[in-house]
Structure 1
Amino acid sequence: MDPETFLEVANHVSKLKMYPYFEIAHCAVTLLYLREDLASGSHLFSRKHPLSCYISSMFSIFAGYMFSALLLGEPVLSAFKNNQSLILASAVWYLMFYSPFDVVYKFCKLLPVKLLLSLAKEITRAKKVHDGVHHAAKLYPNGYLIMVIIGVIKGNGTSFLKVYERLLRGYWTPNAIEIMQPSFATKICVIASIVFVVDKKTDLISAPHSLVYFGVVCFFLYFKLSSMLLGLHDPFLPFENLTCAIFFGGIWDAISRALNKGGDAQSGGSKDAKDVAAKKKE
């Protein structure tokens, strides 16, 4: 592709408006995951507890905005100030849970449709990470860690607030804390946030900003396709295991266990020898 054409495509992607189509995809995919979390009880729960179902759904959809606002000392409820986005999310929620014969949910579960929605959500995720980093940069120009944190929270806030979202449904799972077992989405949001911070605050990246943004979008789309079509869920896991083994005590723990086993074997051998000698004396 001609470099000028490629740059023009990158400029168009960086200027994409999220409302309404990409926001619809974000809401639909978030509610699909919510229904999967409810499993077979989703139908009964939505009928018996419609208010809890609605509040937990809105909590999941706007989790990134709410959590980032809380961390930055901004009004948490400002996430709901956009009436158009709130009405759109409410409409998607209603169709996802209460459409006749559950036709909307079944349609969204079809692989081609789910794949299309998921890819659109990844474009939305990249936009949220980008906006989160830039918003934090305005408030804390030298707070690089803050920029990364807000970018990650904006991009994957639903996972960080999953415990509280479940609590709104009367289901308490304290072990499902994102920082204990970070999901792949969180990891790629960390990488994207770092890239945006480096691009904004340093001269290490000489490419135009729109090209960097387009690269992050392609990065998100590639891994989502790999996850859904090839079953590649977390390619970072081998590197994490290697890093933990080298830098976080893995090697020393293995050496310690080996030495302990060797000591136990020697003590066991000497004990057996003493038993044999005692039997000979008898």
Structure 2
Amino acid sequence: MEAVLGVLNLGDFAQNFSKMGMFPVFDLAYYIVSILYLKYEPGSVEVSRRSPVASWLCAMLYCFGSYILADIMLGGSPIDYFQYNSHILLASAVWYLLFYCPLNLFYKCVAFLPVKLVLVALKEVVRTRKIAAGVHHASHAYHHGFFIMVIVGYVKGDSTLIMFKFGPTKASLYGAILFTMQEAHWLPVSKSTLILAFTFFMASSKVVMTARHSHGSPFALIESWVCHLLFGSPLGGSEEDHHHPPAAAPSSPLKTKEELSDGARKRKAKKAE
């Protein structure tokens, strides 16, 4: 990959891209999409009307939960990130506009599909940086703790789903594995190159999935081949269970002659009574 980037003269671009600041443009997009997903949750609008403080706390956890959970795992204070006043104020402004803007104008603007596609692409830039930063942070505390690096990088990428929905996102997990391999020098690419490549993959995949309203995995084809190779699963579909007998055919709704005659006898007996 390094050779390809050298031919295309993208090495300097990768370096500059990896050092590019995320605040405020990219972080703003991250906060908008995160709180937008919060608003999609059933009952979130009602909570914002009944208890604005609870709604604000949920929004802050959606935005900064990755930092809080990663700090706890590495022995830090869970409120360290709240010292960055500019980030808290920016996320709070996004929360207020999404839930309380007159006529719901801000929500309608950011939920408009072309605008949303741009926002989700920018959000993936931040997520890739967070995964890389989580792996790097963990490597300083645990020099050879590769599993810890993967876990912390994964948490940095998708703590919101872990904390609120308990549903892991494969992209962050695979990203954490790649950045851990790079940190351990098992992957023959520079960190800036990996950041650029993974960001491009994640942003393009997320844009396509959002445009198609798809909830599938961009890794489905690879996972299918790996599962087939390692576990003997069939390609391109779920394995049917051959251990259970087939369901019995539904009985015919038509009654037999014996049932009809028995019913007639019961009716005659009731009339006689």
Same fold at TM > 0.5:
yes
Percent of residue pairs bearing the same amino acid type: 31
- For the pair 1:177 / 2:166, whether they are aligned, the reply is yes
Are the equivalent residues in 2 in contact too, given 1:29–1:117 (CA < 8 A)?
yes
Are the equivalent residues in 2 in contact too, given 1:60–1:161 (CA < 8 A)?
no
Distance 1:53 1:197, change over 3 A: same
Tell me the CA shift for residue 5 of structure 1.
3.1
Tell me the CA shift for residue 244 of structure 1.
8.2
Aligned to 1:226: 208
Are the equivalent residues in 1 in contact too, given 2:38–2:59 (CA < 8 A)?
yes
Tell me the CA shift for residue 177 of structure 1.
2.0
Work out the CA distance in 2 between the residues paired with 1:140 and 1:25: 32
1:38-87: per-residue Cα shift (whole Å, max 9, x none)? 3xx44433222111111111111111011111111211111212111111
- For the pair 1:35 / 2:39, whether they are aligned, the reply is yes
- For the pair 1:149 / 2:131, whether they are aligned, the reply is no
Aligned to 2:77: 75
SS at match of 2:143: coil
Which one of 176, 182, 186 corresponds to residue 199 of structure 1? 182
What are the residue-to-residue correspondences of 1:118-137 with 2, within 5 Å?
118-137=120-139
- AA of the residue aligned to 1:35: K
Work out the CA distance in 2 between the residues paired with 1:118 and 1:145: 29
Work out the CA distance in 2 between the residues paired with 1:42 and 1:201: 42
Aligned to 2:270: none
SS at match of 1:62: helix
- For the pair 1:12 / 2:16, whether they are aligned, the reply is yes
SS at match of 1:94: helix
Which one of 219, 222, 225 corresponds to residue 236 of structure 1? 219
Distance 1:120 1:49, change over 3 A: same
Aligned to 2:231: 247
1:189-216: per-residue Cα shift (whole Å, max 9, x none)? 11111111111212x4333331121111
Are the equivalent residues in 2 in contact too, given 1:125–1:155 (CA < 8 A)?
yes
- AA of the residue aligned to 1:45: V
SS at match of 1:234: coil
SS at match of 2:9: helix
Work out the CA distance in 2 between the residues paired with 1:119 and 1:235: 15
Distance 1:208 1:71, change over 3 A: closer
Are the equivalent residues in 1 in contact too, given 2:127–2:157 (CA < 8 A)?
yes
Higher helix share: 1
- For the pair 1:187 / 2:166, whether they are aligned, the reply is no
- AA of the residue aligned to 2:183: K
Q: Bigger radius of gyration, 1 or 2?
A: 2
- Taking only aligned residues, the RMSD between alpha carbons, in angstroms, comes to 2.7
Q: Which moved more, 1:130-139 or 1:89-98?
A: 89-98
Are the equivalent residues in 1 in contact too, given 2:31–2:94 (CA < 8 A)?
yes
Q: Which moved more, 1:79-88 or 1:134-143?
A: 79-88
- AA of the residue aligned to 2:13: V
What are the residue-to-residue correspondences of 1:59-74 with 2, within 5 Å?
59-74=61-76
Work out the CA distance in 1 between the residues paired with 2:138 and 2:152: 7
Aligned to 2:267: none
Tell me the CA shift for residue 247 of structure 1.
3.0
Are the equivalent residues in 2 in contact too, given 1:46–1:97 (CA < 8 A)?
yes
Are the equivalent residues in 1 in contact too, given 2:113–2:211 (CA < 8 A)?
no
- AA of the residue aligned to 1:191: Y
Aligned to 2:271: none
- AA of the residue aligned to 2:118: L
Q: Which runs of 5+ in 2 are unaligned?
A: 247-273
Work out the CA distance in 2 between the residues paired with 1:244 and 1:45: 46
Are the equivalent residues in 2 in contact too, given 1:133–1:151 (CA < 8 A)?
yes
Work out the CA distance in 2 between the residues paired with 1:205 and 1:82: 34
Q: TM-score, normalized by length of structure 1?
A: 0.76
- AA of the residue aligned to 2:25: Y
Are the equivalent residues in 1 in contact too, given 2:130–2:153 (CA < 8 A)?
yes
1:5-37: per-residue Cα shift (whole Å, max 9, x none)? 311221121011111111111110011100111
Aligned to 1:265: none
Work out the CA distance in 1 between the residues paired with 2:95 and 2:134: 25
